Chain A
Amino acid sequence: MKSLEELKKLREESIKNIEMRNTDKDIRVVVGMATCGISAGARPVLTTLVEEVAKRNLGNVQVVQTGCIGMCTLEPIVEVYTADKEKVTYVHIDPEKAKRIVSEHLVNNNVVVEYTIGSAEKQ
């Protein structure tokens, strides 16, 4: 180890994996992972969300899975809970859409309206 900077870089890298063990976070992203969710492709959605959140060091976002959400035809479903605002439910999500949710909703706080359950029902 030659400098404090080198150590700090190592820390930034290492934090990404371990950050998950801190449960005290403001934003929760929940992915439905019961049988229908998994068969509709929820697993890659979940892993994409985890990776994107870690890559961007979003320390206040927790990505968890849950069981049946109750809307099997709309799977994969992703719900975003924030402390102050109402829950946002995204439906028919795939890994690419998941990336957009991270960059637009979680980073910039702009809901990706076209993926939400509201616009899905209108169609």
Chain B
Amino acid sequence: MKIFRSHVLVCGGTGCSSSNSALIKQRFEEKIKELNLDEEIQVVSTGCFGLCEEGPIVIIYPEGSFYARMTVERVDEICEEHLLKGRIVRKYLFDESAREEKIKPLSEVEFYKKQKRVALRNCGVINPEDISEYIARDGYMALGKVLTEMTPTEVIQLVKDSGLKGRGGAGFSTGMKWSFAAPNQADQKYVICNADEGDPGAFMDRSVLEGDPHAVLEAMAIAGYAIGATKGFIYVRAEYPIAVHRLEIAIKQAKETGLLGKNLFNSGFDFDVEIRLGAGAFVCGEETALMQSIEGKRGMSRNKPPFPANKGLWGKPTIINNVETLANVPQIILNGPGWFKSFGTVKSPGTKVFALGGKINNTGLVEVPMGTALREVIYDIGGGCPNNKEFKAVQTGGPSGGCLTKDHLDIPIDYDNLTAVGSMMGSGGMIVMDEDNCMVDIARFFLDFTVDESCGKCTPCREGTKRMLEILDKITEGKGTMEDLDKLEKLAINIKETSLCGLGQTAPNPVLSTLKYFRDEYEAHVLEKRCPAGVCQSLLRYIITMDCKGCTKCARICPVGAIEGKVKEIHVINQDKCIKCGACMDACTFHAIIKK
């Protein structure tokens, strides 16, 4: 094996790839060759480093220099200075790491300091397209240990003891799930990895697949051994081309190395994995719909029982686990349940990955121990809201979750705590909102999503969510009544109780939680016909203030002739005529027109 004196790691996650990290990598390779350093320096494409906001990101080892917001233009200078002459180019380093005289190592940067990486341990550290780098990080050791030293029952017991809960949303004990499928006799059983990840704003699972695909394959084989399955499917959405590509490479390399296939570790155990592409319907992330989709049918949920563990894919015993759940498994096997329980809370051990988005400075991917306070994630790691705006709410759990307020910032995050205050852990989307967000509009956004995604099988979800959306539309247009608010609440509770699958059962949550914590905003829309955040277009009013000099510019520019006034006198907007185009406000040189 060739040893390089320096490694240039270029982020090849989806975020950085969309800002041209592939060209940056290519330029590094060209320039390094030009400088005759290609025998000494290796350029590697990795998965997401987490701090996507600062991307494209390049890290150079052995120094661990963290170059942020890279461009192709900067590559040559970095090669000539840093790689050739050993002079780190400070001006291109990530701000925080170069602020003081001594360059801060990555692990001490605020964004990373409070994180604990288990599921993401290899993301941004290894080349996901090279199995030997995974193996160097103890890859497939857990599978080897399980197959050569443990019985299936012992494996299940160990996973049970660790307290690992499903990270796909429901939070069900993984060990228990496996123990239901294990005793069922069948000629064929299946392990499915759920990589559908349909929540808007979520990209945790995508990042794991892009950055560390072998961890998921290894865990699937371990699960297969535990329940007696020899075949696995990864159900991943077709919109994740990089993840799919890396998975394909990983499967191929694992087969070539004899880590998937027949008679693994000479134990007599066979395991194979295939990829199935999903079309990106949200409901196909629900396990029963997902299995129908793999079978080639239209993805629709069905009643449970029977549970997949008894009658799953093609009627055979099946377990379905989420990507992140699986990514934890090899580490739990290697380090033991005690280690896993040493972080997190008693009821929810381990860590959770969150995709931070919305009005937050450090959008990106973070992994923290369960029990970390929302405040730490949003402020210490996420850096708070941009432009010194005031934090208003955080939405967790995507379309199934709810909005929480500043009063909830000190709640330690775990499954039970979030549910207790009307939200959900969900899969880990975390969208931050500031004073400029209208909570009615947010609730409308998520409901609009679920209305679109409802599979239509049961009436409460199909019709009920539509009726709710109509009421919300009315409210945002200033036509809502107080009775509408009550009706909204009743409908919501009804839909939750009577829908067939998880989609309908949780769809009203964003509405219910905003009604609970931001009722005053709903009431402002209904009673005062006012949107406090100034978001709902039809409730906006353009008003001319006393600063008006009577220059007549706005009256001439208004496309509908809504502005009246004489020269040198204060002008007035006729609210009935105004179509809220905003042209007058942009035109007024005296800033005399405001939006309210």
| Chain B residues within an 8 Å CB radius of A23 | 61-64, 105-107
Question: Is A17 an interface residue when CB atoms closer than 8 A count as contact?
Answer: yes
Out of B3, B61, B135, name the residue touching A10 (CB < 8 Å). Answer: B135
B86 with A47: CB separation less than 8 A = no
Out of B42, B63, B137, B139, name the residue touching A64 (CB < 8 Å). Answer: B63
Interface size on B, as a range, is 35 or more
B85 with A33: CB separation less than 8 A = yes
Among A14, A31, A32, A62: residue with most chain B CB under 10 A? A14
Tell me whether A11 and B264 are in contact in the complex, defined as CB-CB below 8 angstroms, given that A34-B85, A46-B5, A67-B86 are known contacts: no
B258 with A54: CB separation less than 8 A = no
User: Which of A1-9, A78-86, A100-108, A113-121 is near enough to bind chain B?
Assistant: A1-9
B residues in contact (CB < 8 Å) with A: 1-7, 9, 40, 42, 61-64, 84-87, 105-107, 125-126, 132-133, 135-141, 144-145, 148, 257-259, 264-266
Out of B61, B86, B135, name the residue touching A14 (CB < 8 Å). Answer: B135
A17 with B2: CB separation less than 8 A = yes
Tell me whether A21 and B40 are in contact in the complex, defined as CB-CB below 8 angstroms, given that A1-B257, A11-B135, A14-B133 are known contacts: no
Shortest Cβ distance from B140 into A: residue: A7
A35 with B85: CB separation less than 8 A = yes
Show 9 A/B contacts (Cβ-Cβ < 8 Å), sorted by A.
A1-B258, A3-B144, A14-B1, A23-B63, A23-B64, A31-B86, A34-B87, A43-B40, A64-B62
Question: Is A97 an interface residue when CB atoms closer than 8 A count as contact?
Answer: no
Out of A4, A15, A38, name the residue touching B136 (CB < 8 Å). Answer: A15
Out of B1, B105, B138, B265, name the residue touching A17 (CB < 8 Å). Answer: B1
| Chain B residues within an 8 Å CB radius of A33 | 84-86
CA distance in complex: A112, B259 (Å): 46
Tell me whether A3 and B265 are in contact in the complex, defined as CB-CB below 8 angstroms, given that A16-B1, A18-B133, A23-B64 are known contacts: yes
Question: Is A20 an interface residue when CB atoms closer than 8 A count as contact?
Answer: yes
| Chain B residues within an 8 Å CB radius of A18 | 126, 133, 136-137
B148 with A20: CB separation less than 8 A = no
Tell me whether A3 and B3 are in contact in the complex, defined as CB-CB below 8 angstroms, given that A18-B137, A23-B63 are known contacts: no
Shortest Cβ distance from A29 into B: residue: B62
| Chain B residues within an 8 Å CB radius of A65 | 5-6, 85-86
Question: Is A73 an interface residue when CB atoms closer than 8 A count as contact?
Answer: no
Question: Is A13 an interface residue when CB atoms closer than 8 A count as contact?
Answer: yes
| Chain B residues within an 8 Å CB radius of A91 | none
CA distance in complex: A33, B5 (Å): 13
Shortest Cβ distance from B130 into A: residue: A14
Among A21, A34, A62, A66: residue with most chain B CB under 10 A? A21
Question: Is A63 an interface residue when CB atoms closer than 8 A count as contact?
Answer: yes
CA distance in complex: A50, B148 (Å): 36
| Chain A residues within an 8 Å CB radius of B42 | 17
CA distance in complex: A21, B1 (Å): 16
Shortest Cβ distance from A31 into B: residue: B86
| Cβ of A105 to closest chain B Cβ, rounded Å | 18
B126 with A20: CB separation less than 8 A = no
| Cβ of B505 to closest chain A Cβ, rounded Å | 44
B106 with A17: CB separation less than 8 A = no
| Chain B residues within an 8 Å CB radius of A14 | 1, 132-133, 135-136
Shortest Cβ distance from A28 into B: residue: B62
Tell me whether A54 and B3 are in contact in the complex, defined as CB-CB below 8 angstroms, given that A11-B136, A15-B136, A18-B133 are known contacts: yes
Chain A positions 24 through 57: 1 when the CB is less than 8 Å from some CB of chain B, otherwise 0: 1000000111110010000100110011001100
A20 with B86: CB separation less than 8 A = no
A47 with B40: CB separation less than 8 A = yes
Shortest Cβ distance from B64 into A: residue: A23
| Cβ of A45 to closest chain B Cβ, rounded Å | 11
Tell me whether A7 and B141 are in contact in the complex, defined as CB-CB below 8 angstroms, given that A1-B265, A17-B4 are known contacts: yes
CA distance in complex: A68, B418 (Å): 56
| Chain A residues within an 8 Å CB radius of B2 | 17
CA distance in complex: A67, B264 (Å): 50
B9 with A67: CB separation less than 8 A = no
CA distance in complex: A110, B538 (Å): 80
CA distance in complex: A67, B1 (Å): 29
| Cβ of A53 to closest chain B Cβ, rounded Å | 9
7 smallest CB-CB distances across A and B, nearest first, come from: A65-B86, A14-B136, A23-B64, A1-B258, A50-B5, A33-B86, A67-B87
